[in-house]
């Protein structure tokens, strides 16, 4: 297996993008990634395109996107892994290059969720568990799923609604300082607690927004990467795991097993421990999910996630800065784009290119992306290194 580096990244503005179709939206990210790497479309060998689908009119999005972006006749594939779709695209590109089949690959993730109304979008996402048992019989939606995780964590570890609200406050603080983010305004704990209930204890400001966006990541083999850029960001470790579709069959409802397993794989491959990570992007589709991630990734012991956010340890300057781009909560969560967006942010963090207020202190040159599909149906963990 060859060493693989990130050599270019691109990112559209996230938000309600009625001004573009899926191809035009994706081109914003692809164009920026090509310019970042100093490459053209002819340099790209292979293109995994990640999109969850449902929301827009095109049943073959990889075909439409690659044609518009000038990537035909390069090989491409449409991939899907629920909310971890973007990371699935990155991992496909990684394996393609690491195996020697391609020298340069581009992972693209995008979504245009606002083409349907909110109730329809909620239904589509709600179908993503065990459809017949959970959706048809009990009417489960994703806020409902994460409410189950939240109430179990509260019952077992004393987690409070205020702790979840603190996650939202932090992520809005950094989202307000991220030019690519959708929700660019700060909020207070009281704003979260007083927002309308969605599925107790999940409230409106505990939820990530439905929105549109795209991101692109260019990967290259070691010998090629060193010719392209003086600042390659190496993929040091990757991990992937899954869990049951039926949430009732899980070992417990206060952690995500697939995240624990995927992170263990990635740590072992990268030959690091959680304490070596300088900055992390974690999957905060709901505020409780970020608290679970602290624990599942080993940033603290089980049950100590609330303490980590209460003490401000996940802000810049703390023990482990997390989601300092706003996370899914404030930057937005256009499903297929999220995994690629995480790699975009961490690449720029390791290059020290982000806005000063959001720049983590890079001591060991290690960053981690944690991208959960569904309620843990799948999880991808990617570890990046500067040296």
Q: Which two three-digit tokens encode residue 239?
A: 């991990």
CA distances from 90 to 115, 195, 308 (A): 25, 36, 30
> What Rg, from alpha-carbon coordinates, does the chain have?
19
> In a 3-state reduction of DSSP, which class is residue 372?
strand
Beta pairing class for 378-385 and 46-50: unpaired
Residue 214 DSSP label: E
| Sign, CA torsion 158/162/168/172 | negative
Backbone phi, psi, residue 104, to 5° = -135, 130
Beta strands in 262-362 (DSSP E): 279-281
**Active-site choice (11, 78, 172, 333):** 333
Beta pairing class for 46-50 and 104-112: parallel
Is 83 noted as a catalytic residue in this protein?
yes
Beta pairing class for 366-373 and 279-281: parallel
Distance CA 324, CA 9 (A): 18
**Active-site choice (69, 79, 83, 340):** 83
Quick one: 162 exposed, middle or buried, by C-beta within 10 A (0-12, 13-18, 19+)?
A: middle
- 279-281, strands of its sheet edge to edge: 75-79, 46-50, 104-112, 212-221, 4-11, 233-242, 378-385, 366-373, 279-281
What are the residue numbers of the active site? Answer: 83, 333
């Amino acid at each position: 297996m060859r060493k693989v580096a990130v050599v270019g990244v691109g990112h559209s503005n996230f938000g309600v993008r009625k001004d573009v179709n899926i191809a035009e939206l994706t081109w914003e990210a692809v164009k920026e990634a090509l310019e970042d790497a100093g490459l053209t479309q002819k340099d790209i060998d292979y293109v995994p395109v990640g999109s969850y689908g449902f929301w827009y009119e095109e049943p073959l999005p990889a075909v439409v996107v690659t044609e518009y972006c000038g990537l035909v006749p390069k090989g491409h594939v449409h991939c899907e892994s629920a909310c971890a779709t973007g990371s699935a695209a990155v991992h496909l590109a990684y394996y393609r290059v690491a195996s020697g089949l391609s020298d340069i690959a581009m992972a693209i993730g995008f979504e245009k969720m606002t083409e349907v109304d909110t109730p329809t979008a909620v239904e589509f996402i709600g179908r993503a568990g065990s459809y017949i048992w959970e959706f048809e019989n009990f009417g489960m939606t994703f806020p409902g799923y994460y409410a189950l995780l939240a109430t179990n964590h509260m019952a077992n570890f004393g987690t409070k609604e205020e702790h979840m609200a603190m996650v939202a406050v932090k992520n809005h603080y950094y989202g307000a300082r991220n030019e690519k983010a959708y929700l660019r305004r700060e909020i207070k704990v009281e704003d979260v607690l007083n927002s309308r209930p969605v599925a107790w204890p999940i409230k409106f400001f505990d939820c990530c927004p439905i929105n549109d966006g795209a991101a692109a990541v260019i990967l290259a083999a070691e010998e090629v990467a060193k010719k392209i850029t003086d600042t390659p960001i190496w993929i040091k470790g990757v991990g992937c795991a899954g869990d049951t579709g039926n949430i009732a069959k899980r070992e417990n409802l206060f952690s995500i097993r697939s995240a624990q397993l995927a992170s263990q794989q990635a740590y072992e491959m990268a030959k690091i421990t959680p304490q070596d990570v300088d900055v992390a992007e974690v999957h905060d589709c709901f505020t409780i999910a970020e608290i679970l991630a602290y624990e599942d990734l080993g940033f603290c012991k089980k049950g100590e996630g609330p303490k980590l956010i209460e003490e401000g340890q996940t802000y810049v300057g703390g023990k482990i800065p997390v989601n300092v781009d706003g996370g899914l909560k404030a930057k937005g969560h256009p499903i297929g784009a999220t995994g690629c967006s995480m790699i975009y942010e961490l690449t720029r963090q390791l290059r020290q290119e982000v806005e000063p207020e959001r720049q983590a202190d890079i001591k060991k040159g290690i960053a981690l992306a944690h991208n959960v599909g569904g309620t843990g149906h799948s999880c991808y963990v990617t570890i990046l290194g500067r040296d």
